[in-house]
Structure 1
Amino acid sequence: MASNDDRKHRAVTTFQRRILNPVMRRIPFQTALETTGRTSGLPRRTPVGGRRVGDSFWMVSEYGERSQYVRNIRANPRVRVRLGGRWHEGTAHLLPDDDAAARLRTLPRSNSAVVRLVGTALLTVRVDLES
């Protein structure tokens, strides 16, 4: 029998994958993370929320290791981040020892509220951007 977390994860990811993400990917100034599909090798773009601090971009994955983009990062940490309509290349780092809940308090409020609401396994991700 599926747990509440499993049902929540399935419902939210289905909504994101089929409705929200296709719309958000088309908005030119929506922040997005581009990973390389671990099986297909194709670029995979995911709308994300986070904040640039210096030469790093910080974000929190609501489903941690279950997030497809986290699994793609684990296979290949080379990513691109779209900030303000411009793409930046970088290397992503998964930070399980970082306090993801505290990190959310430093990131944009609207996205952080959604991540806290639907998230079940928060994981901090830092992308070191290239100049």
Structure 2
Amino acid sequence: MARNHELKFRVVTTFQRRVLNPLTRRLPTQTLLETTGRSSGLPRRTPLDGRRVGDTFWLVSEHGDRSQYVRNIRSEPRVRVRIRGTWHPGTAHILPADDPHTRLRSLPTLNSAAVRAFGTDLLTVRVDLDGE
């Protein structure tokens, strides 16, 4: 089982990194999370989906602590989120006590289905957006 889990992680992340993310990053309406690279210090933009509720943006990482953006958040929680073409600065919080399966029910349906199907270690992330 662990081998299948590892193989799934490698296949999914390779496809996302090399094919899907470079394409979707260019879409003007794609939601992006911008973190600061923990080693390079450079901005890193990850296409994803979630839901804004007031001054909070919720998402579920499909690979938990193995996601590069989660590792970057742990190093530097100040982030930006592009929602409908507008950038919003904020502070990200990793929430291991939050039930990601329950959280997915409140997020966009198509993305939630993909996270469930391709995810290997779900983890909730909350971004508190700075007041505008």
TM-score, normalised to structure 2, is 0.97
Q: Secondary structure at the match of 2:111?
A: helix
CA–CA separation in structure 1 for the residues paired with 2:29 and 2:123: 24
Letter in 2 for 1:29: T
State, as a whole percentage, how many aligned pairs show the same letter. Answer: 70
Using the alignment, how far apart are the partners of 1:96 and 1:52 within structure 2?
Answer: 20
The 5-angstrom pairing of residues 1-131 of structure 1 reads 3-131=3-131
Looking at structure 1, the residues matched to 44 and 5 of structure 2 have their Cα atoms a distance apart, in angstroms, of: 25
Q: Structure 2: which amino acid aligns with 1:3? A: R
Letter in 1 for 2:91: T
After superposition, the CA RMSD in angstroms is 0.7
Runs of 5+ unmatched residues, structure 1: none
Mapped partners of 2:32, 2:9: distance in 1 = 21
What's the secondary structure of 1:8's corresponding residue?
helix
Deviations 1:104-123 (A, max 9, x none): 00000000000000111100
- The AA in structure 1 aligned to 2:88 is H
Cα distance in 2 for partners of 1:126, 1:25 equals 21
Per the TM alignment, residue 6 of structure 1 is displaced from its structure 2 partner at its CA by 0.6
Which is further off, 111-120 or 2-11? 2-11
Structure 2 gaps of 5+ residues are none
Amino acid at match of 2:30: Q
Q: What is the identity, as a one-letter code, of the residue corresponding to 1:76?
A: E
Amino acid at match of 1:113: A
Q: Secondary structure at the match of 2:89?
A: strand
CA deviation after TM superposition for structure 1 residue 3, in Å? 1.0
SS state of the match for residue 49, structure 1?
coil
SS of 2:93 mapped into structure 1: strand
Match of 1:3, SS state, is helix
Structure 1 outlier segments of 4+, above 3 Å: none
Q: How many equivalent residue pairs?
A: 130
